Chain A
Amino acid sequence: MPDPIAILKESEWGEVCARLNIMFAWADQNLVIRDASRRLRVTVGRDLTGRTLSEAFPNLLGLEDELRRIARGQAQPWRIPGFRLSEKHLQPYDVLFMPLTESGGLLMVVRQMDIESAMERELRQQRNEMALLQEQLETQTEALQLTQARLENLERERKSLMDIIALDIQSALSIAQGYAEWLQRALADSAMSQYEQALKLITQETEHIGELVREVQAFQRVERALESMAWRPVELAKLLDAVTGMWRDIAKLREVDFEIHAKSPAPGISGDPELLCEAMDRIYNYMLFLADPPATVRVELNAWPGWALMRFTCSRIRKEQALLEHRSGHALNARQRAFQLQLARARIIAEGHGGHLSLSDETDKNAVLFWLPAESAPSDEALPAGVKKPPFQVKKRPVEETRTPSASKWITAGRESIRIDVEKGRVWLNDELIKLTDSEYRLLLYLAQHVNEVVRNEELQAHLGKDGRPISLASLRVLVWRLRQHLGGNEGAGQYLRTVRGFGYLLVS
């Protein structure tokens, strides 16, 4: 049987192959190596003759059947680019297995890929990193667009508010001023009833100004409350019941009834119950203003993936009172504008919770849609006809300040490098605000509340769990690792968060 390696060594092709760093091994049909080029023996660092291919090149383990099939001509030749000859060899090779039809057996051709692999590594690394950056950029662009949409909404709301205030205050003041002047000029007149009428109008308009000022103050109060809001779990169905209870008697006097259809189980949300009550209160007020008695105000509480939706509609409406979103402040009368202000307050509360409020004249019911981000989504039911999902979803945590607030309730740890504002749920590291996820914050707060004490793993797992189910130990370790990274790792304040092996963790004061 002619030795293919010997043939190659003696031929011109052998010279060509040697110059191109191409190496060979020849195995019989049982995959026992019969001969190998010197360069391959040197590369592998041992004699190859008499060994099987998988003994000589352990990375070929498990492929014996396939290689035998190639040797017998039952399968096509096989080229594996970028193959390592063993776990020790990090250098990639271009490897080709082909049958030797005349002599029988298998020829393994190995070519070094120094330059190609170095270039490929460089290009691939760059391509992958760029693609990852592009993905991040897209995510950030999306977040930016959402924020921009929210800002535009707020700006629209602000302009509308300014229009209303300017128009109504100006109008009320003109009336008051006009009558005051008239009163001055007409002092000699003895018709008392005219003075009384003038005074009544002045009183009425100044009251209107007072109402507007109170509304502006209410806005400011809501904005302040949203900024420092403490997030708590809220049961929407209960909240809705409570607000409905407050309105039911008043509504009855006006021949308006309420119907509540709450999905069971109601979607879980979090937020400030008092603010949410206030928003619903304002919406009910608007619905009563809208109702043409006898009428029924229907409230549907439903779930949509990621959202809880409260849809307020009225069976009979006074169309002349209906507010449409596209109407500007000028197209509305004073009374409508007052209600628009109240709805604006409810909208700001919704947006402060990461939600949304919109008006819709679907099927002439002048519906108010109040969206809130849901913690869970128990239903995939279709939305009512004409209802569209909100155009954006913002993060639930409020916009954070970048400077340390002057007066708050603090917990300090880590030689005072870590400061936690418990009231606002914010963490400062060396006077710089850091962003933590809810779980990371809860972990840090718990450790800070037990500063200088070793807190057991099980205790932390239970504390960080949801619905009575503790998180896994692996998840806890990941959370601790992530928290340490936020605190500057083992070089920074993270060193004060210590692992007590086999027991738990300790945060140094």
Chain B
Amino acid sequence: MAIPTFQRKICLLGDFAVGKTSLIRRFVYNRFEEEYLATIGVLVSRKEVILPHGIVNLLLWDLAGGETFVHMEEAYYRGAAGALVVADITRPDTFGLLNVYATSFLAINPQAALVFAINKVDLKEDFTEASKRAQDLSARWGAPHFFTSALSGEQVQTAFVTLARLTIESHST
């Protein structure tokens, strides 16, 4: 019997410089670059994930950050099965935007899956406040959260694989 194969478009959302591109680079190519270069438009990367459900081809849409209010959401979010919504643990303001991104994304893709990534944990030792805010987010959206580091690779794989699994499960229910 042939192994089922799925194609899933995943959007990476979040304020500028929170590490969306770095997370994709770590997940797809297992590398990290120090230099910050703003993303223009959309960069699509692909990664195959093997799950008990079958093979999932993730099409990772890396979007330019910090564009919450320009009403270009539909152009980029259309047809997506899930989103990794990213905040920077060292910049508390980026947490507040997670709700904005999640709301606008689900308005276009109501059935899509969400996962929150609190990135750059290598730069912070005390997670108490961030942990509380992340738990509130998870409870509000019914979506898991992960404390990630694109620099060390901590929890990056887990976050993407969880999202891949959720996109399959949400589609099948």
Contact = CB atoms under 8 A, between A and B. Distances in A.
B41 A474 contact: no
A63 B64 CA distance: 20
Contacts of B102: none
A458 to B, nearest CB: 17
Contacts of A132: 17, 36
A64 B128 CA distance: 44
Interface residues of A, number: 42
Contacts of B16: 124, 128, 131
Given A117-B41, A474-B149, A58 B154 contact: no
B151 A124 contact: no
Contacts of A87: 44-46
A92 interface: yes
Contacts of A477: 152
A379 B153 CA distance: 33
Contacts of B42: 80, 82-84, 92
A61 B122 contact: no
Contacts of A377: 128
A61 B149 contact: no
Contacts of B36: 128-129, 132
Interface in A235-291: none
Interface stretch (B70-78, B111-119, B134-142): B70-78
Contacts of A61: 7, 46, 57, 59
A121 B40 contact: yes
Instruction: Please tell me the size bucket of the interface on B.
Output: 35 or more
Nearest to A126: B38
Contact of A124 (B7, B38, B122, B149): B38
B154 A472 contact: yes
Interface string B141-157: 00000000101111000
B125 A58 contact: no
B79 A80 contact: no
Given A63-B9, A79-B75, A135-B93, A84 B44 contact: yes
Interface in B15-72: 16-17, 36-38, 40-46, 57, 59, 64-66, 72
Interface string A106-147: 000000010001001100110111011001000000000000
Interface in B88-135: 91, 93, 122, 125, 128
Contacts of A475: 122, 152, 154
B165 interface: no
Contacts of B151: 478, 481
B64 to A, nearest CB: 7
Chain A interface SS verdict (over half) = helix
Chain B interface SS verdict (over half) = loop
Contacts of A129: 36
Nearest to B67: A124
Contact of A65 (B37, B59, B79): B79
A377 B125 CA distance: 15
Contacts of A82: 40-42, 64
Given A125-B37, A125-B38, A62 B17 contact: no
Contacts of B79: 62-63, 65-66
A437 interface: yes
A74 interface: no
Contacts of B37: 125
B152 A474 contact: yes
A109 to B, nearest CB: 14
A80 B7 contact: no
B172 to A, nearest CB: 16
B66 A62 contact: no
Contacts of B7: 61-62, 64
Which of the listed residues B40, B66, B91, B153 has the most CB atoms from chain A within 10 Å of its own CB?
B40
A439 interface: yes
A415 B78 CA distance: 59
A124 B17 contact: no
B38 A81 contact: no
9 contacts: A59-B44, A80-B76, A128-B17, A129-B36, A135-B91, A438-B125, A474-B154, A475-B154, A478-B154
Interface of B: 7-9, 16-17, 36-38, 40-46, 57, 59, 64-66, 72, 75-76, 78-79, 81, 91, 93, 122, 125, 128, 149, 151-154
Given A80-B42, A128-B65, 14 more contacts: A59-B44, A62-B9, A79-B75, A81-B41, A82-B40, A83-B41, A84-B41, A92-B41, A92-B42, A117-B40, A132-B36, A305-B128, A376-B128, A478-B152
